[in-house]
Structure 1
Amino acid sequence: MLAKSSLPLRLAAVLPSGLSLRAYHVSTPPTSTSALFAPLPGTEEEPTSCESHFLAVSSPDNGDNKEVLIYAIEVLIFTTESLTTLFVSKADSSGFSTRLDNPKGSPSIVGAITSTFAEYLLEPRLASSRVVLSLFARAQRQYLFPGSSDNAGKHVLDDRHLIKWWCRIFDKILRQQRNDSAATAHLLVPGCDKGETKAFFPPSFRADPPAEPKWINSYPVNLMVTNASLPPRHLIPRLPDDPKARFLDDLDGEFVDERGNWRSVKDLTHFWEFMSYRQECSAGRLVGFLWLVFSKDQAKYAASNELPQSEYTQKRSKPVAQPDPMTPSNSQRLENGAPEVSPQDPSTLETLPTLHSPPWSSPVQPEPEPRTSQDVRHRNGDSAAPPPTEGSSLPGINQTRGEIEFDATEYQALMDHLLQTDFTGEESAGRASRSWVDKALELSGATTFGQPVLGCATPALAQSAAAVEASSAQVNLLTGVRKKRKADVIEDASVRSNGVELTGIAAINTLAAGLVRKKPKG
């Protein structure tokens, strides 16, 4: 039942019992856009459609306390005939988790909402032959809620904890039981070798068979393109506000020959090595590139997944030829400010998964076609739904549309409005939240917006999830450790033999008398 349930029901199933929220989901219809992968010289771009999904959740209006947005996430979905790409563009929390009566020890609300929303968008699209969920994680103090970094309740994860946090979110999605497609997770952290990158993997990767790893330190080129032998220029997707895309554009401006080759970067290994010297990856903060790949024919690619050109080099040596220095643009700047604070309790709500796209930039959407009075304004309204568009033919995809569906221009106006609000304090955050909801109603012409969510997860489920979350985020820090004496070791020894627990001295391995050969005297 859960597989086909609505988003509010899915959220209720994973949130602690009694926890009350309000969910706001808006989207755009699939619209033609530029191809993610550059075409070969003289060939046409692959037809590609893009749709945007934005989910914001708020604390309820309790009379005296105004409703306040506490978390938001944006996912862009690019669809072609051979590949569907879900790109987590932005994610941010506002710092007002104290407004929620979240039981102590409950799993991360932000983590539960994030993984559930990604699953909700992902599941109906897995009918495609290849699907990729991707993002790049870069720590920053705020993305979607202006002024929220000044709130004392907002805990901003540093770069390492942020990458680990997203790896745990991806791992939760990865471990879902699916019989129709294989899945692997891939991580690259420019500037880190293979051993250092493994430190970011979730603890569950240690239980995977070495011959069939679920987590791999690589760029999964063989699972994302149909021909991995093309020049690297045609093997990297150009996603909005992505450091890779900016590097691709800079290399294209430097030189491209008639076969699509660059002068300074000859293969993917060089590309990723050069990435570690880019400002966004070398400004004192680590950046993680994550891919979760689902493929129905993944088995035949397993052997080739570790090709040298598809895996980031294990040595952090200076490249032989560096590209010409480039002056960073405004979109490449990193915010300066006070050091980011690592939360004391990673299982709480405000372990801020601030992501990558800077707050002053938004995905570039194609110019919309003129709308008619028949266009859909609100899914619960009286207007008729629009005809099916490109990329919406798979069963169940139409059910993932937002409560309100905007065209590209209206959607961008709503996002820009949010970035012009003020979440510095609780009073201003309440006004900003109301203003954003009112703007959505104004743009759509709808009379209502937002759906209530009442958590119903059992305490046992919540405690189990919390234990996994806490163990995944545990930091090894030993202070004041006392070494045990031999006698202590004997008393503490405990083993099992044929299901019977043996404790104390009986647990020590001894040799039977008949097996001991005494040295003859003399």
Structure 2
Amino acid sequence: MPARPPLQSRLAASLPVGISLRSYHASSTPSSTTTLFASLPGELEEATLCESHFLAVASPQHDDSREVLVYAVEILIFTSPSLTTLFVSKADSSGFSSRLNAPKGSPSIVGSVIATFVEFLLEPRLNQSRVVLSLFARSQNQYLFPGSIENVGKHVLDDRQLIKWWCRVMDNVLRRRNDGLSLPCRATAHLLVPGCDRAETKALFPPSSHLDSPSAPNWINSYPAELLVADTSKPPRHLIPRLPDDPKSRFLDDLDGEFVDERGQWRSVKTLDQFWEMMSYRQECSAGRLVGFLWLVFPSSQSAHAPLNLLEETGKMRDSVKLSTQTNQSTPRSVQVLEYDSLNSGVQPDGGSRSIEAPKPPRASSPRSGSQTDPTTVARLGNEAGKGSLTTAVASAEQPMPTISIESTKGTQGQIVLDADQYQSLLDWLLQSDFAGEELAAESTKGWVQKALELSGGAVFGQPINGERPLTLPKAHEPAAAQHVNVLTGVRKKRKADSMMEARPAFSEGGPTSRQASVNTLPTSLVRKKAKG
């Protein structure tokens, strides 16, 4: 029997017995994009690749019902020499989760799917560099399934419920990763909710956080700037990543439009604390709803023993860069040549050079819409992806193509692999469909699968998933001894006489007696007669 694909096996192992669904995993070939962290004036941009992953799960097709997409999530992966960022871009349900017929009392199917998918993408990347999982929780009626808000089965969580849900799901990922690890290799979770103080934010932490040691908490109310960038003394403009369709990225763009001096500093916001305080006044964070920003930081074994600035130095070119000579050249900007090696050998540059042509083009608000590869290069990217050699975009014919070897991550590619334009076309098709009602949802599901096959040129898309995890339901009647677990239940307040007798052991002719015997020999002075009438 042939081995099942890794993601299919993981999903089956994470879902309870009795659950049947169909999964659809599409990904894009990595393409060059603008760096997430803005560079200081005169500083070279760090080479960055972006690849997209889209996972959708659907209810299985039966004789009396058609297949319908139930849940979908999009994760973007940005890879640079010093940091790998997994960004949960979009997640949504269509309102037809009841079609999965989940056993009563089983864990959240959606939560299990998203946690398994995140772990699947995370694991092969943890040994390359520091890895951060980033997302923002903002309650909306619909993200990926147009018209789904009209379905009565769709339960939209409010802002606090949504933040708590994401924290619980990501806590499972965090603790499974930390199991058996010691500091400084342990991952940490960081949550910020603009407009909420520390106590209000901690109330959103998962319940398991209360069991953590105060000296080594897994959940922290902070923005982990010191874990993401090498030099936190830079202006805040250079300490916050610009992720697509992210509220804080829009704020960064607005601040850039007002004023940026020669040191890369804004006129109004001077510190990170001021930035996050001002975020609480933005419309997205102050219109009666909370927005939670969550980061899970995973230090690799290599980065746990080396400062981040040292890792960045190994990713820079050893040769000196002559910006003055490049300014007069008409050749387009080329990107640094880097190779991601294994954990033992670290990140090694190949000794090439990187140049920048001035002036720089305006920054795109979304990294995905930044510098992209041309169609010829994109096609070659797809061919080389299976060999573990992925080439970033470069327009200069005078310098070698920059190559990034990511052999260990090719196993996370989707069942279908598209170029950046094809992937966006597939996502746009879904965003223009209609999921209002079961019949329309079934038609949209069928059309989306056909569109994926048309773009990829493949014959098959979708994998059946049958849950394999034994379901352990709580017993209907717990034994009497188990009731003591519930503290403060079944506690009887002591009577004054009982307390006095415990303080004074009673004796009979045979020595110390049992409590019942002592009650039978109470002194008459302690017995009060009830008054008549």
TM-score by length of 1: 0.74
2:164 equivalent to 1:159: no
Which residue does the alignment assign to 1:388?
A: 389
The structure number with the bigger radius of gyration is 2
Which residue does the alignment assign to 2:233?
A: 229
2:471 equivalent to 1:459: yes
CA displacement, residues 25-49 of structure 1 (integer Å, 9 cap, x when unaligned): 0001221100000000012211101
- Contact 2:379 2:419 (8 Å CA) reproduced: no
2:213 equivalent to 1:219: no
Q: Measure, in 2, the Cα distance between the counterparts of 1:211 and 1:384.
A: 44
Which residue does the alignment assign to 1:367?
A: 372
- Larger mean Cα displacement after TM superposition, 146-155 or 395-404: 395-404
Q: Measure, in 2, the Cα distance between the counterparts of 1:102 and 1:145.
A: 21
- Contact 1:241 1:362 (8 Å CA) reproduced: no
The one-letter code sitting in structure 2 at the alignment partner of 1:166 is: W
The one-letter code sitting in structure 1 at the alignment partner of 2:122 is: L
Between the aligned residues of both structures, percent identity stands at 60
- Contact 1:76 1:87 (8 Å CA) reproduced: yes
The one-letter code sitting in structure 1 at the alignment partner of 2:374 is: E
- Contact 2:382 2:419 (8 Å CA) reproduced: no
Q: Measure, in 2, the Cα distance between the counterparts of 1:134 and 1:489.
A: 50
Describe the SS at the equivalent of 1:117: helix
Identify if the C-alpha distance between structure 1 residues 242 and 405 changes in structure 2 by more than 3 Å, giving closer, same or farther: same
Q: Which has the higher contact order (CA 8 A, sep 6+)?
A: 1
Identify if the C-alpha distance between structure 1 residues 126 and 237 changes in structure 2 by more than 3 Å, giving closer, same or farther: same
Q: Measure, in 1, the Cα distance between the counterparts of 2:371 and 2:11.
A: 31
Q: Measure, in 2, the Cα distance between the counterparts of 1:450 and 1:162.
A: 29
Q: Measure, in 1, the Cα distance between the counterparts of 2:378 and 2:192.
A: 47
2:69 equivalent to 1:57: no
Identify if the C-alpha distance between structure 1 residues 509 and 377 changes in structure 2 by more than 3 Å, giving closer, same or farther: farther
TM-superposed deviation, 1:367: 3.4
Report the RMSD for the aligned CA atoms in angstroms: 2.9
Which residue does the alignment assign to 1:202?
A: 206
Which residue does the alignment assign to 2:334?
A: none
The one-letter code sitting in structure 1 at the alignment partner of 2:264 is: G
Which residue does the alignment assign to 2:78?
A: 78
Which residue does the alignment assign to 1:279?
A: 283
- Contact 1:368 1:407 (8 Å CA) reproduced: no
- Contact 1:221 1:235 (8 Å CA) reproduced: yes
TM-superposed deviation, 1:490: 4.1
The one-letter code sitting in structure 1 at the alignment partner of 2:240 is: I
TM-superposed deviation, 1:101: 1.8
Q: Measure, in 1, the Cα distance between the counterparts of 2:425 and 2:97.
A: 27
Describe the SS at the equivalent of 1:389: strand
TM-superposed deviation, 1:52: 0.2
CA displacement, residues 77-133 of structure 1 (integer Å, 9 cap, x when unaligned): 001101000000000000111211211111000000010000000011100231100
Which residue does the alignment assign to 2:41?
A: 41
TM-superposed deviation, 1:394: 4.4
Identify if the C-alpha distance between structure 1 residues 49 and 98 changes in structure 2 by more than 3 Å, giving closer, same or farther: same
2:15 equivalent to 1:15: yes
The one-letter code sitting in structure 1 at the alignment partner of 2:267 is: R
TM-superposed deviation, 1:375: 5.7
Describe the SS at the equivalent of 1:156: coil
- Contact 2:138 2:162 (8 Å CA) reproduced: yes
Q: Which blocks of at least 5 consecutive residues in structure 1 are unaligned?
A: 303-360, 465-482, 492-504, 514-522
- The correspondence of residues 56-455 of structure 1 with structure 2, limited to 5 A, is 56-176=56-176, 177=179, 179=181, 181-296=185-300, 297-298=303-304, 363-364=368-369, 366-371=371-376, 385=386, 388-389=389-390, 393-394=405-406, 396-455=408-467
TM-score by length of 2: 0.73
Q: Measure, in 2, the Cα distance between the counterparts of 1:207 and 1:5.
A: 36
Q: Measure, in 2, the Cα distance between the counterparts of 1:300 and 1:82.
A: 12
Q: Measure, in 2, the Cα distance between the counterparts of 1:148 and 1:273.
A: 34
- Contact 2:136 2:246 (8 Å CA) reproduced: yes
Q: Measure, in 2, the Cα distance between the counterparts of 1:125 and 1:22.
A: 26
- Contact 1:174 1:183 (8 Å CA) reproduced: yes
TM-superposed deviation, 1:385: 3.6
Q: Measure, in 2, the Cα distance between the counterparts of 1:373 and 1:44.
A: 24
Identify if the C-alpha distance between structure 1 residues 166 and 387 changes in structure 2 by more than 3 Å, giving closer, same or farther: closer
- Contact 2:163 2:292 (8 Å CA) reproduced: yes
Q: Measure, in 2, the Cα distance between the counterparts of 1:135 and 1:98.
A: 27
Q: Measure, in 1, the Cα distance between the counterparts of 2:246 and 2:232.
A: 21
Which residue does the alignment assign to 1:319?
A: none
The one-letter code sitting in structure 1 at the alignment partner of 2:246 is: D
Describe the SS at the equivalent of 1:172: helix
Q: Measure, in 1, the Cα distance between the counterparts of 2:276 and 2:146.
A: 33
TM-superposed deviation, 1:19: 1.1
The one-letter code sitting in structure 2 at the alignment partner of 1:290 is: L
The one-letter code sitting in structure 2 at the alignment partner of 1:423 is: F
- Contact 1:37 1:235 (8 Å CA) reproduced: yes
TM-superposed deviation, 1:411: 0.3
Describe the SS at the equivalent of 2:450: helix
Q: Measure, in 2, the Cα distance between the counterparts of 1:449 and 1:365.
A: 29
Describe the SS at the equivalent of 1:49: strand
Q: Measure, in 2, the Cα distance between the counterparts of 1:406 and 1:223.
A: 33
- Contact 1:95 1:155 (8 Å CA) reproduced: yes
Q: Measure, in 2, the Cα distance between the counterparts of 1:222 and 1:53.
A: 28
Describe the SS at the equivalent of 1:142: coil
Identify if the C-alpha distance between structure 1 residues 57 and 211 changes in structure 2 by more than 3 Å, giving closer, same or farther: same
Q: Measure, in 1, the Cα distance between the counterparts of 2:388 and 2:492.
A: 74
TM-superposed deviation, 1:369: 2.4
The one-letter code sitting in structure 2 at the alignment partner of 1:163 is: I
Identify if the C-alpha distance between structure 1 residues 131 and 377 changes in structure 2 by more than 3 Å, giving closer, same or farther: closer
- Contact 2:280 2:286 (8 Å CA) reproduced: yes
Describe the SS at the equivalent of 1:23: strand
Which residue does the alignment assign to 2:328?
A: none
- Contact 1:365 1:408 (8 Å CA) reproduced: no
TM-superposed deviation, 1:376: 8.5
Identify if the C-alpha distance between structure 1 residues 433 and 226 changes in structure 2 by more than 3 Å, giving closer, same or farther: same
CA displacement, residues 422-452 of structure 1 (integer Å, 9 cap, x when unaligned): 1000000000000000000011111111011
Q: Measure, in 1, the Cα distance between the counterparts of 2:79 and 2:378.
A: 27
Q: Which blocks of at least 5 consecutive residues in structure 2 are unaligned?
A: 309-365, 392-402, 476-487, 507-533
